[in-house]
Amino acid sequence: MSLQVDNIHKNFGSDDRLVEVLRGVSLEISAGGAVAIMGPSGSGKSTLLHIIGTLDPPISGKIIINGEEPFLLPEPELARFRNRVIGFVFQDHHLLPQYTVLENVLIPTLAFKQNGEDYEARARELLEKVGLSHRLDHRPAELSGGERQRVAFARALINKPSLLLCDEPTGNLDHATANSVASLLFELHKEEQNILIVVTHSMELAGRLENKYRLSEGILTKE
């Protein structure tokens, strides 16, 4: 398991409205590594996370995940790669309101129905780890903010991703809930041995990660 981000550039717009968001960003993380990315609002943190998560290609530069260069894959294979290798957690939980907690966690497995894995058992196990075994049949609206984010962690981990990408995962939670949700995130990361990247405004959260980076003026620097 490894991640290599090599000299990424990204612009939005063109001509007099050109915004150079990333101006040569590089980063390397090996198995089990965990990093925080901080930086002012609008500095390109989400843009960088989207590129690492293979959701949006860079203008130039390379992303190499486990030795593979996903942006060289044609679209249907890229989507499968993303689904298999990358887990996302956003500031908003992005759970589907019409489905139960258990069903929400199983959604990323729908593409892999026929491979014989017992996804439901894994979903139940993850939901137990995040302390929600008693909420399997509840809908997102019946949960607290912290509980919804716990479901989002379980969903992000269901396919055993090599890479877990979190964009302000505690940004909408009160301080105490944010702390406990962050502790859970670190526990899950250690157990699953994935590579963890957390974008956060919280110095407290960033301080709990082994490596801290700052994105500013399109450049990523280690703190």
Report the interface residues with Mg ion, using CB under 5 A: 46
- When the beta carbons of 47 and 104 are compared against ligand ADP, the nearer one is 47
Binding site for ligand ADP (CB under 6 A): 12-13, 19, 21, 39, 41-47
Token digits of residue 202: 């919280």
Rounded to the nearest whole angstrom, what is the least distance from the CB of residue 156 to ligand ADP in the complex? 18
**Cα–Cα dist 135/192, whole Å:** 23
Going from the C-alpha of 153 to that of each of 84, 141, 156, 159, 187, the distances in angstroms are 15, 17, 5, 11, 11
Report the residue number, 21 or 123, with the smaller CB distance to ligand ADP.
21
39 contacts which partner out of ligand ADP, Mg ion, none, CB within 5 to 8 A by kind?
ligand ADP
User: Nearest distance from residue 94's CB to ligand ADP, in Å?
Assistant: 16
Q: Which is nearer to Mg ion, 35 or 158 (CB)?
A: 35
19 binds, among Mg ion, ligand ADP, none (CB under 5 to 8 A by kind): ligand ADP
For residue 166, give both structure tokens. Answer: 């979190």
Alpha-carbon distance of 18 to 21, in angstroms, equals 9
Distances (CA, A) of 46 to 52, 109, 128, 140: 10, 25, 30, 25
Closer of 144 and 216 to ligand ADP (Cβ): 216
